[in-house]
Amino acid sequence: MSELLSKNKSGWENVDDETKTNIFNFADDYMSFLNISKTEREIVSNATLLAKEKGFKSLDEYSELHPGDKVYYVNRNKNLYLAIIGQDDIEAGLNIIGAHADSPRLDLKPNPLYQNGDFAYLNTHYYGGIKKYQWITIPLSIHGVIVKENGEKINVSIGESDNEPVFVITDLLPHLAKAQQQKKLSEAIEAEKLDVVVGNIPQKEDDSSDEKDKCPDKIKENIMKLLNKKYGITEEDFISSELEVVPAFKARTLGFDESLVAAYGQDDKVCVYSSLRAILNIENPKRTAICLFSDKEEIGSMGNTGMQSHVFDTFVSELLNKLRINRPNLLDKVFCNSKMLSADVDAGVDPLYQDVNDLGNAGFIGHGIAVNKYTGAGGKYDSSDANAEYIAFIRSIFNQNNIKYQLSELGKVDAGGGGTIAYILANKGVDVIDCGIPVLSMHSPYEVTSKFDIYEAYKAYQAFFNN
Ligand code: MN
Ligand code: MN
């Protein structure tokens, strides 16, 4: 009788010592990668370095492509495509895994620096779906680029090492927060109060200068002087910068049993890293393998680095050109024959808040990679609903390769909802399903995943590329 019933139990129960060592080693590599890759730009540059070490070459280095060739293409430093040309005719389709490199954070506004009272602040506009109260009173770092008018680019990363300062957003003391504490959680911290403290020392009075030239904001002036010394910038240079405020926390092992990873940005860097390691381990696949890291997923995949742009189509067209087989409509045909895993994190069941889940259709931490047939909200609205035939195919790959997987929904019906990049590829004709690692505290400054699930995802993505 029991053979007729599906089982869903912790994957750790069947892990032997050797596998456990592999799982823990993989997690150590992952955490090291996270600690140097907090933004989409850092993900793209570090992933490109690893790909080059494995023999990937830039698309423009190839005049012609042949089976086994490894190609990368970087789109505006924020978006990366990796491909390995397959032995089979590419018309038979691609095996694509797509994750996203961006994570929720606080972006600096175009004119961020101001003074209020005795403090200099950086004004922010939050990026993605955050619970604002989670981002105050924690150590923050600043990452990104400032591009000067002449095109010179200054890379910024400050707040990560112990000898650098951190930044913080303050909050009201509980003693005087009687009125604030009565407010709804979503309204207690206003978006316009997510401003980061960056200084407190005023610029010394300069007696020589004219009274009318004197800046009334001496603390701001002092900070600008320090920034000019450190980065060679003026206040106007902020307008052509992209500076992201992120948690300064290090990725760490979590728990007495060391089973979990706590880190910022695991949505979706955990799928980025596991799919990256999978494609780096592939040689001469049967079908052409593509691993892509998109940008702007957290704000709707818009813009020329988001999945909705046509840059990915152009990249695949270029592969067809360099294989010397392109012709009208071939791109559409290739997409219609392609298969994809949309590698994005799943909402893991949190026992403290499990009433938002239907526990018979939920992703559990430590139970393996989670497959979402559909996401969406309110009657599957806005979701790409994977076809049963395709799920049967994916299931057979996972079962043949001993991958522990679970089928889940994003919470109870009508509890909320969300989306991924899956529908964008589905619209091109690709067979696609969401398939990623369950996370606790998603979109918070310190998200939690299971080392078992991360390793299982890595194995699952590798098996997919090999089929
Ligand atoms: Mn995501
Ligand atoms: Mn997300």
Beta-strand pair 105-116/241-247: antiparallel
CA-based nearest residue to 104, from 342, 294, 296: 296
Q: Does the pLDDT at position 145 exceed 60?
A: yes
More confident site: 318 or 419: 318
Q: Mean of the pLDDT values across residues 244-261? A: 98
Contacts of 207 (CB under 8 A, 6+ apart): none
| Cα 196 to middle of ligand 1, angstroms | 26
| Cα 443 to middle of ligand 1, angstroms | 9
| Cα 36 to middle of ligand 2, angstroms | 20
| Cα 123 to middle of ligand 1, angstroms | 26
| Cα 217 to middle of ligand 1, angstroms | 41
Q: What is the pLDDT of residue 447?
A: 98
Q: What is the pLDDT of residue 116?
A: 98
Q: What is the pLDDT of residue 423?
A: 95
| Cα 267 to middle of ligand 1, angstroms | 5
Q: Does the pLDDT at position 249 exceed 60?
A: yes
| Cα 96 to middle of ligand 2, angstroms | 20
Task: Please name which ligand lies nearest the alpha carbon of 437.
Answer: 1
CA-based nearest residue to 405, from 447, 448, 373: 373
Task: Please name which ligand lies nearest the alpha carbon of 293.
Answer: 1
Distance of alpha carbon 365 from alpha carbon 352, whole angstroms: 13
Residue 466 confidence class, pLDDT cut points 50, 70, 90: very high
Q: Does the pLDDT at position 1 exceed 60?
A: no
| Cα 233 to middle of ligand 1, angstroms | 34
| Cα 298 to middle of ligand 2, angstroms | 5
Q: What is the pLDDT of residue 207?
A: 61
| Cα 100 to middle of ligand 2, angstroms | 9
| Cα 395 to middle of ligand 2, angstroms | 25
Distance of alpha carbon 422 from alpha carbon 398, whole angstroms: 19
CA-based nearest residue to 292, from 278, 216, 122, 232: 278
Task: Please name which ligand lies nearest the alpha carbon of 442.
Answer: 2
Task: Please name which ligand lies nearest the alpha carbon of 434.
Answer: 1
Average pLDDT, the chain: 96
Distance of alpha carbon 274 from alpha carbon 268, whole angstroms: 10
- CA distances 423 to 301, 305, 407, Å, are 11, 17, 18
| Cα 84 to middle of ligand 1, angstroms | 25
Task: Please name which ligand lies nearest the alpha carbon of 105.
Answer: 2
Q: Mean of the pLDDT values across residues 8-34? A: 97
| Cα 332 to middle of ligand 1, angstroms | 27
| Cα 419 to middle of ligand 2, angstroms | 8
- Surrounding ion ligand 1 within 5 Å at CB are 267-268, 344
Q: Does the pLDDT at position 15 exceed 70?
A: yes
Q: What is the pLDDT of residue 212?
A: 66
Distance of alpha carbon 281 from alpha carbon 270, whole angstroms: 17
| Cα 176 to middle of ligand 2, angstroms | 34
CA-based nearest residue to 81, from 298, 331, 295, 265: 295
| Cα 204 to middle of ligand 1, angstroms | 47
Question: Distance of alpha carbon 73 from its chain centroid, rounded?
Answer: 18
Dump pLDDT digits (tens) for 341-364: 999 999 999 999 999 999 999 999
Q: What is the pLDDT of residue 97?
A: 98
Q: What is the pLDDT of residue 2?
A: 76
Task: Please name which ligand lies nearest the alpha carbon of 345.
Answer: 1
Tell me the domains of the chain and their CATH numbers: 2-103+264-466 (3.40.630.10), 105-247 (2.30.250.10)
Distance of alpha carbon 386 from alpha carbon 100, whole angstroms: 20
Task: Please name which ligand lies nearest the alpha carbon of 307.
Answer: 1
- CA distances 400 to 7, 208, 376, 397, 464, Å, are 17, 80, 30, 5, 11
pTM, full prediction: 0.96
Q: Does the pLDDT at position 272 exceed 80?
A: yes
The type of residue at 131 is K
| Cα 97 to middle of ligand 1, angstroms | 14
Q: What is the pLDDT of residue 166?
A: 98
At which residue do the structure tokens 């002036």 appear?
221
Contacts of 451 (CB under 8 A, 6+ apart): 23, 24, 26, 27, 258, 259, 260, 261
Contacts of 312 (CB under 8 A, 6+ apart): 81, 292, 294
Q: Mean of the pLDDT values across residues 4-31? A: 95
Dump pLDDT digits (tens) for 149-196: 999 999 999 999 999 999 999 999 999 999 999 999 999 999 999 999
| Cα 401 to middle of ligand 1, angstroms | 26
Q: Could you say which DSSP state residue 402 is in? A: T
Task: Please name which ligand lies nearest the alpha carbon of 268.
Answer: 1
Task: Please name which ligand lies nearest the alpha carbon of 101.
Answer: 1
Q: Does the pLDDT at position 331 exceed 80?
A: yes
First to last CA, the chain: 32
Distance of alpha carbon 88 from alpha carbon 94, whole angstroms: 10
Q: What is the pLDDT of residue 418?
A: 86
Dump pLDDT digits (tens) for 222-244: 999 999 999 999 999 999 999 99
| Cα 410 to middle of ligand 2, angstroms | 12
| Cα 295 to middle of ligand 2, angstroms | 11
Q: Does the pLDDT at position 209 exceed 80?
A: no
